[in-house]
């Protein structure tokens, strides 16, 4: 996974409360509020996740292999800079300069940073494996946010493969997530074959959108407001509020952090060539209120049309999204507009005279989700229709294992109950889970993939990965898990 910054508690600004039914049937309110500096408010005792003790099982397991599993103090610049060196090396980034390290120190100060060390290596101060994590909000269908545990910076040096390090790291992260009260863990994966064994599964896709500028003629409606070309630095003050609103609109988005905004706006190293190339456009509505912005660059050879590329567009309204797209595709002296990590259901083809001016590639999985608490995760989203459904979930690691009943009202609000084990009359002293009519049998990975509405349960059934317990259950499940807006994550973390 690529290195990124950390959440700074912005989930509290658009967090909500999901109405949930516990296994005992009592209603309670599950907070989706994460306070700054890693402190969670959900009726549980506050704690600083960054300095809580390291996972004992990982410590013992790796210690038996002559390795030290260690919490890195980001205030210790020597220790953190050595960790950063390993992180950058693993993901083939250039060796960080001092200005880069200063930025990373600020960003990672809000994360839990772990390193694995080998005292017999040539550089015992540099970890041979890394991981970082933090609590944040994950947007769900319907505009709610659920408590999530973001995992990043997962790396193992090529000199230390096949020693059980990655497994120890990933299993420890799941235990840390549960201890923090997260309903799901999540990550963005550079490789698709690593994380399934830990219960992660693709939950939101992304694609690169290419627009042939020479064929693009706008046919969509005019926006009631207007766009402005602005100094990127002028957006820094208003960007957090706009981004929070944009994130809440789309399931699969995660809370942004200040360090990310500084990067996309070119503020980390303002005098570098990359930062000086950043351009920005802002959309104001008919009342003069900012509703969105995009940051982009144009690259070109001398005296030739260029390529406009962007990887950050935040729109709090549909008008803002359309207006920003229009401005980008109408920039002169550009042959191609390229949008990275865009949604699989962009409205752009319906806004141009020639939809074939658009090509899509690099379409694939992006956000991976691992459900830890099905009651909280399912109870945090709005469903596409009313109905009842039972989900019999198999989780080899035990976190999400059980039978869960959903009762969804006509407005899409769900009450979720875990069904307790019931005695088996045919075998005294044994127990079996209650099996109700109108249900599906599925694994925790399949639950993660349908959670945000990215894939229909019936499609997974065709692949043999979801099984219908009673006739008609798949049809009900497809209606329930449908999302009005396709899930989408527009950043790496």
3-17, 114-128, 241-255, 458-472: least confident range: 3-17
Do residues 368 and 340 touch, judged by C-beta distance below 8 A? no
Q: What is the residue-averaged pLDDT of the chain?
A: 89
* 156 marked as part of a ligand binding site: yes
- C-alpha 422/C-alpha 35 separation (Å) is 39
- C-alpha 281/C-alpha 228 separation (Å) is 5
For the chain, percent of residues with pLDDT exceeding 90:
85
Angle between helices 165-179 and 56-63 (to 10 degrees): 170
Q: Pick 17 or 321 by higher pLDDT.
A: 321
Instruction: Tell me the average pLDDT across 244-259.
Output: 96
pLDDT of residue 39: 32
* 167 marked as part of a ligand binding site: yes
Domains of the chain in start order, with CATH, are 10-182 (3.40.630.30), 216-353 (3.40.630.30), 368-481 (3.30.1050.10)
Q: Which of 150, 132, 116 is nearest to 34 (CA)?
A: 150
Predicted confidence (pLDDT) per residue in 93-112, tens digit: 999 999 999 999 999 999 99
* Sign, CA torsion 112/197/421/388: positive
Which active-site residues does the annotation give? 195, 493
Q: Pick 131 or 430 by higher pLDDT.
A: 131
Which pLDDT band holds residue 438 (cuts at 50, 70, 90)?
confident
* 113 marked as part of a ligand binding site: no
Do residues 355 and 221 touch, judged by C-beta distance below 8 A? no
* 74 marked as part of a ligand binding site: no
DSSP secondary structure string for all residues of 48-61: -TTTSPPPHHHHHH
* 139 marked as part of a ligand binding site: no
pTM of the predicted protein model: 0.88
Q: Is 154 helix (H, G, I), strand (E, B) or coil?
A: strand
Q: How many CB atoms lie within 10 A of CB 104?
A: 22
250-254, 433-437, 452-456: least confident range: 433-437
Q: Which of 190, 208, 205, 189 is nearest to 310 (CA)?
A: 208
Q: Are strands 402-408 and 33-35 parallel, antiparallel or unpaired?
A: unpaired
- C-alpha 313/C-alpha 320 separation (Å) is 10
Q: How many CB atoms lie within 10 A of CB 487?
A: 28
């Amino acid at each position: 996974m690529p290195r990124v910054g950390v959440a700074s508690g912005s989930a509290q600004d658009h967090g909500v409360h999901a109405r949930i039914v516990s296994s005992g049937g009592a209603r309670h309110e599950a907070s989706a509020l994460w306070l700054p500096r890693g402190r969670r408010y959900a009726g549980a005792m506050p704690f600083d996740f960054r300095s809580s003790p390291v996972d004992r099982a990982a410590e013992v397991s790796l210690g038996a292999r002559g390795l030290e599993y260690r919490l890195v103090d980001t205030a210790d610049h020597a220790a953190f800079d050595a960790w950063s060196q390993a992180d950058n090396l693993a993901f083939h980034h250039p060796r960080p300069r001092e200005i880069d390290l200063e930025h990373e120190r600020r960003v990672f100060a809000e994360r839990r940073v772990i390193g694995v060390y080998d005292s017999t290596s040539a550089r015992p101060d540099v970890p041979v494996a890394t991981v970082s994590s933090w609590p944040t909000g994950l947007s769900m269908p319907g505009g709610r946010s659920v408590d999530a545990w973001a995992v990043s910076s997962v790396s193992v040096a090529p000199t230390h493969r096949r020693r059980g390090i990655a497994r120890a790291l990933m299993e420890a992260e799941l235990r840390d997530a549960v201890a923090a009260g997260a309903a799901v863990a999540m990550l963005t994966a550079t490789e698709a074959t690593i994380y399934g064994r830990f219960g992660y599964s693709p939950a939101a896709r992304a694609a690169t959108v290419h627009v042939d500028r020479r064929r693009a003629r706008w046919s969509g409606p005019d926006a009631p407001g207007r766009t402005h070309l602005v100094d990127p630095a002028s957006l820094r003050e208003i960007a957090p509020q706009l981004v929070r609103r944009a994130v809440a609109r789309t399931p699969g988005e995660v809370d942004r952090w200040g360090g990310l905004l500084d990067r996309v706006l070119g503020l980390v190293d303002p005098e570098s060539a990359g930062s000086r190339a950043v351009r920005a456009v802002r959309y104001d509505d008919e009342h003069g209120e900012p509703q969105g912005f995009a940051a982009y660059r144009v690259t070109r050879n001398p005296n030739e049309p260029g390529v406009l590329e962007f990887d950050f567009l935040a729109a709090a309204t549909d008008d803002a999204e359309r207006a920003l797209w229009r401005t980008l595709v109408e920039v002169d002296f550009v042959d191609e507009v390229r949008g990275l990590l865009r949604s699989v259901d962009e409205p752009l083809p319906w806004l141009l005279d020639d939809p074939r001016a658009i090509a899509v590639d690099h379409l694939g999985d992006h956000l991976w989700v691992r459900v830890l608490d099905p009651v909280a995760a399912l109870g945090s989203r709005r469903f596409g229709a009313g109905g009842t459904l039972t989900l019999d979930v198999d989780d080899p690691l035990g976190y999400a294992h059980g039978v869960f009943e959903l009762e969804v009202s006509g407005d899409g609000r769900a009450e979720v109950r875990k069904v307790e084990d019931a005695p088996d009359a045919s075998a005294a002293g044994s127990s079996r889970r209650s099996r109700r009519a109108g249900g599906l049998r599925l694994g925790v990975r399949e639950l993660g993939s349908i959670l945000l509405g990215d894939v229909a349960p019936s499609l997974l059934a065709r692949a043999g990965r979801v099984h219908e317990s009673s006739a008609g259950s798949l049809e009900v499940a497809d209606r329930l898990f449908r999302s009005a807006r396709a899930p989408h994550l527009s950043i790496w973390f």
